[in-house]
């Protein structure tokens, strides 16, 4: 695909291949790993604006950044109240972040039924007020949303124009409707029409599991860049493959992820998280089922490490 930098407000990314925010996965260690592998921008898991305003330690934990992280620091906030969103964007916890990504695309019922995430696509005036409120923080602002809520309600172009008019510096468009969650075909045409409707950078998201998928998404939509989501969960080295960076030894990469996750988040979290991630990395590999059975029985990071060392497909 065509590699280039992206300008969002006063920020310039090193390339146009981004790691999309993934709830439960894009913690500080995973973001650092993907950045090192070539991701031009990485974004935190979605963070509740109200949680930050109510000083929730659990919410603030999502904002941890590894020491010496060299990329643009980007935080994704979600909420439906402009005042809470403004306060969160201006909070001390978010002070280290240079870009705020507003979640207007999460399809999950818990978020949608609370009027947040993709539910904001039902109320464009409210979405505009939220963007304007977050812009008052002085930070660069991006918005992530979907092509529509249902197949007969594709509003990507209209919503893109509203985001730009409210002051967004960049938008990311997931090419599926809310009702499809993460299944079904990506609507390249809707993203392409939205790209034509605005002047700000448009990042296309959805269905990128290999370098060829990224190239096709760019070609079919005319987008300025791509955001990789679930594909990164299965193959974080996909960033190196897309950007042409030298790929490090995968086993060493995974073992380093395990060790760094343990150092930052503790033994229990690292054990559970890395059992899950290693199982993802094994997808499609010979003898994957047997390894996964053993992984999910592992009670310590030491046991997880022993299993990783045995695996000869990395």
pLDDT at 35 over 90: yes
Average pLDDT of the residues in 80-89: 98
- DSSP-derived pairing of the beta strands 7-8 and 140-146: unpaired
Candidate list 34, 75, 106, 163, residue with the active-site label: 106
Q: Is 90 exceeded by the pLDDT of residue 216?
A: yes
Distance of alpha carbon 309 from alpha carbon 233, whole angstroms: 20
Catalytic residue list contains 106: yes
The CA angle 12-14-16, to the nearest 5 degrees, is: 90
pLDDT at residue 284, as a whole number: 86
- How many whole angstroms separate alpha carbon 221 and alpha carbon 217? 6
The pLDDT tens digits of the residues spanning 164-212 come to 999 999 999 999 999 998 888 999 999 999 999 999 999 999 999 999 9
Sign of CA dihedral 207, 210, 213, 219: positive
pLDDT tens digits, one per residue of 257-289 = 999 999 999 999 999 999 999 999 999 888 899
- Which CATH topology does 250-310 take? 1.10.1200
Looking at the DSSP assignment, which residues form a beta bridge with residue 150?
A: 153
Q: How far is Cα 159 from Cα 48, in angstroms, rounded to an integer?
A: 22
Coil/strand/helix, residue 103: strand
pLDDT at 313: 76
Tokens of 282: 């094994």
Q: How far apart are CA 313 and CA 230, in angstroms?
A: 20
Mean pLDDT, rounded, for 131-158: 97
pLDDT for 90: 97
Residue 11: what pLDDT? 98
Question: Mean pLDDT of all residues in the chain?
Answer: 96
279, two tokens? 């199982």
pLDDT at 314 over 80: no
Instruction: For residues 148 and 37, give the distance between their C-alpha atoms in angstroms, rounded to a whole number.
Output: 32
Residue 57: per-residue pLDDT: 87
The superfamily in CATH containing domain 7-243 is Aldolase class I (3.20.20.70)
Residues contacting 10, CB < 8 A, separation 6+: 140
Cα 230 from Cα 22, distance rounded (Å)? 8
The domains of the chain are located at: 7-243, 250-310
**Per-residue confidence band for 99, with pLDDT thresholds at 50, 70 and 90:** very high
Q: What is the pLDDT of residue 187?
A: 97
Q: Residue 129, Cβ neighbours under 10 Å: how many?
A: 17
**For residues 231-251, average pLDDT:** 95
Residues 194 and 253: their CA atoms lie apart, in Å, by 38
Phi, psi of 141 (to 5 degrees): -130, 130
What is the rounded average pLDDT of the residues 54-77? 93
Helix (H) or strand (E) holding 172: strand 170-174
The torsion defined by the Cα of 268, 272, 275 and 281, in degrees rounded to 10, comes to: -120
Q: pLDDT for 102-135, tens place per residue?
A: 999 999 999 999 999 999 999 999 999 999 999 9
Q: Please tell me the pTM assigned to this model.
A: 0.96
């Amino acid at each position: 695909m065509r590699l280039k930098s992206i300008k969002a407000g006063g920020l310039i990314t090193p390339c146009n291949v981004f790691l999309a925010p993934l709830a439960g996965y894009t913690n500080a260690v995973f973001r650092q790993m993907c950045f090192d592998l070539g991701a031009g921008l990485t974004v935190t898991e979605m963070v509740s604006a109200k949680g930050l305003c109510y000083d929730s330690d659990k919410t603030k934990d999502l904002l941890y950044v590894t020491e010496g992280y060299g990329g643009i620091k980007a935080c994704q906030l979600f909420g439906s109240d402009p005042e809470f969103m403004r306060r969160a964007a201006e909070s001390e916890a978010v002070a280290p972040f240079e870009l705020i990504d507003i979640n207007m695309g999460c399809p999950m019922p818990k978020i949608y039924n609370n009027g947040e995430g993709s539910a904001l696509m039902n109320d464009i005036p409210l979405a505009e007020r939220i963007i304007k409120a977050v812009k008052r923080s002085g930070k660069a602002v991006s918005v992530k949303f979907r092509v529509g809520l249902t197949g007969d309600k594709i509003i990507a172009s209209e919503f893109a124009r509203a985001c730009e008019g409210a002051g967004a510096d960049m938008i990311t468009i997931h090419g599926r409707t809310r009702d499809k969650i993460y299944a079904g075909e990506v609507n390249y045409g809707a993203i392409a029409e939205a790209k034509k409707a605005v002047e700000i950078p448009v990042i296309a998201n959805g269905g990128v599991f290999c370098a060829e998928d990224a190239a096709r998404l760019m070609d079919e939509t005319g987008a300025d860049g791509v955001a990789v989501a679930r594909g990164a969960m299965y193959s974080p080295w996909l960033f190196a493959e897309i950007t042409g960076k030298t790929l490090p030894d995968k086993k060493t990469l995974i073992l380093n992820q395990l060790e760094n996750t343990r150092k930052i988040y503790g033994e229990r979290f690292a054990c559970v998280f890395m059992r899950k991630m290693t199982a993802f990395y094994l997808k499609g590999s010979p003898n994957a089922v047997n390894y996964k059975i053993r992984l999910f029985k592992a009670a310590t990071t030491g046991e997880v490490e022993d299993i990783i060392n045995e695996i000869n497909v990395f």
